[in-house]
A = this chain, B = another copy of it.
């Protein structure tokens, strides 16, 4: 039996910098418990300050080392700030997925009391990964963390959902990873605010840079027509990034993370992107986008459970059987139930 949680007590401890309390709150928030919600609610007034930076890229690009170095560099510039690292990538050493050498290097960060590392349990709750990441980000923001680094593996389309919550998105490439990955890159490139060629001391860095710049050009010529479909609402809404004024051309930077080369310049660009967002009111509009999506999906959940509780019989089960027997289609079943003809 775990002891009962007092959310207000937990929230108070978090504000005092109690890392155990924060870890406990992470678990509650990930598990979507009432206690997790209460912690966020009681700290919510502190939120809205964090710079959320998504770092995505294929396995083998060394993005975990880069995250590590970025966090260290940021901490050396801001002695009183706190940094959170959320590792969603199953291959990340932060998530326990990499070889010993990587894991040892990561130790750099573990000694720093102002850096908090949390890896997502990608094995469970698959459908809810983006949502969980969002909730954790919110918690760190509430807890007063100034920089939140979210590391994901950028091979699948769903990573885009996770990255959407970021203010600034870094797409990390590395020389010589093969052409098969190129086709995926094209989609991922469209979400990049900053492109990083890590392992830039490896052969082929020039070729990688050329191909990235070519793809960048293509992607910026194409009319911006990416529409995000909120599958919770059926509503289409243009993503915040599409509404942006021209003016930020994603820079291409070279780094060698394990030697700490190019990391300082990269952090400068991250800061420059924040300044640009704020100067163009995009900081606010991205935040609004996130709040809207969050409220919509919460509302849908609550309305559904309220509806279900209000039914004298479990209508959902009745509908399932009628659809299973092909008596009605799902659309017809819902139409009938909601119009009172069920």
Return the contact of A330 from the options B58, B288, B294 (Cβ within 8 A): B294
Question: 0/1 per residue, A25-57, Cβ < 8 Å to B?
Answer: 000000010000110110011011000000000
* Contact string against B for A residues 291-313, beta-carbon threshold 8 Å, 1 for contact and 0 otherwise: 11011111111111111000000
A324 within 8 A of B: yes
Does A161 interact with chain B (Cβ within 8 Å)? yes
Interface range for A = 35 or more
Complex partner residue of A45 from B41, B45, B307, B326, CB under 8 angstroms: B326
Q: Does A157 contact B (CB under 8 A)?
A: yes
Instruction: Kindly provide the distance from the CB of A222 to the nearest chain B CB, expressed in whole angstroms.
Output: 9
User: How far is it, in angstroms, between the C-alpha of A300 and the C-alpha of B338 when the chains are bound?
Assistant: 11
- Of A73-81, A111-119, A181-189, A210-218, the one touching chain B: A181-189
Q: Beta-carbon contacts of A317-342 to B below 8 Å, as 1s and 0s?
A: 00110011010111111100110000
Contact partners of A90 in chain B: CB under 8 A: 157, 183-184, 186-187
| Residues from chain B with Cβ under 8 Å of A37 in the complex | 329, 331
Question: Which stretch of A16-24, A223-231, A254-262, A272-280 is in the interface?
Answer: A223-231
Q: Which of A53-95 contact B (CB under 8 A)?
A: 58-60, 90-91
Contact B331 A234 (CB under 8 A): no
- The reply to whether A295 and B233 form a contact with Cβ atoms under 8 Å apart is no
Q: Which stretch from A125-133, A199-207, A245-253, A263-271 is at the chain B interface?
A: A125-133
| A47 nearest in chain B by CB position | B326
For residue A316, CB closer than 8 A to chain B, the reply is yes
How far, in Å, is A103 (CB) from chain B's closest CB? 13
Contact for A304 among B91, B292, B299, B316, CB less than 8 A: B299
Please list 6 pairs of residues, one from A and one from B, whose beta carbons are closer than 8 Å in the complex, sorted by A's number: A59-B180, A127-B161, A131-B229, A232-B304, A299-B316, A302-B338
